[in-house]
Amino acid sequence: MSNKKLAIDWLETVLISEPYSEEDFEHNERCWEQAKVMEEDGKHESYLYGHKVGFTKAKEMEKEQQNINEEKLRESLLTINLINPVHLKMVSDGRGEFPDSYNLTQKGIDDLVETIKSR
C-alpha cells in the first residue's frame, strides 16, 4: 500500500490550476469526484489491511499463549511423582515379556490437575 499514490497527490498533478473555460471547470469537477472515490477506496483498503494485520497478530498471540501453556504443562508433569497403586491401576500385565500397562486412577488425575493449577 505504501507505493500507491494518495488521492491528494494525484489530484495535484491533474487539476488545472487556473481554469478558464467550462471544459476546464468540468475537468476539475471530474477530478475532484475521482479523488473522493480514491480516498474512500483507500480508507476501505486501509481498514481491510488493518483488520488482516490485527487478525494475524491475534493468531500469533494465541499461538504464543498455547506454547507458554504447553511449556508450563511440561514443567508441571516433570515434577509429579506417581505412586503405584494410589495414582495408577494396572490394566495389562506383561508377565515380564512385555511392559505392564497402567491407567491413572481418579486420585492420580486429581493430583495431576492440582499440580498443574498450582503452577
In this structure, the answer to whether residues 89 and 60 fall within a common structural domain is no
**Of 47, 63, 79, at which residue does a domain stop?**
79
Q: Give yes or no for residue 48 having a pLDDT over 70.
A: yes
Q: What is the pTM of this model?
A: 0.40
- Name residue 88's beta-bridge partners: 104
Same domain, 73 and 86: no
Does residue 48 share a domain with residue 19?
Answer: yes
Shared-domain flag, residues 91 and 119: yes
Q: Which residues pair with 102 in a beta bridge?
A: 90
Share the mean pLDDT of the chain. 80
pLDDT at position 1: 43
Which residues constitute the domain of residue 94? Answer: 81-119
Shared-domain flag, residues 7 and 62:
yes
- Same structural domain for residues 48 and 19? yes
Residues 60 and 11 in one domain: yes
Q: 5 vs 103, which has greater pLDDT?
A: 103
Shared domain for 33 and 88, answered yes or no, is: no
pLDDT at 92: 79
CA of residue 84 relative to chain centroid, distance? 43
Q: How many domains does the chain have?
A: 2
Write out pLDDT tens, residues 76-92: 777 777 777 777 787 87
Same domain, 74 and 26: yes
pLDDT higher than threshold 60 for residue 2: no
User: Which residue in the block uniquely carries the three cell numbers 473555460?
Assistant: 21
4 and 52 in a single domain? The answer is yes
On whether the CB atoms of residues 112 and 73 are closer than 8 A, the answer is no
Sign of the alpha-carbon dihedral angle for 6, 10, 13, 17: negative
Q: What pLDDT, in 10s, does the model give residues 17-46?
A: 888 888 988 988 888 888 888 888 777 777
Residues 71 and 21 grouped into a single domain:
yes
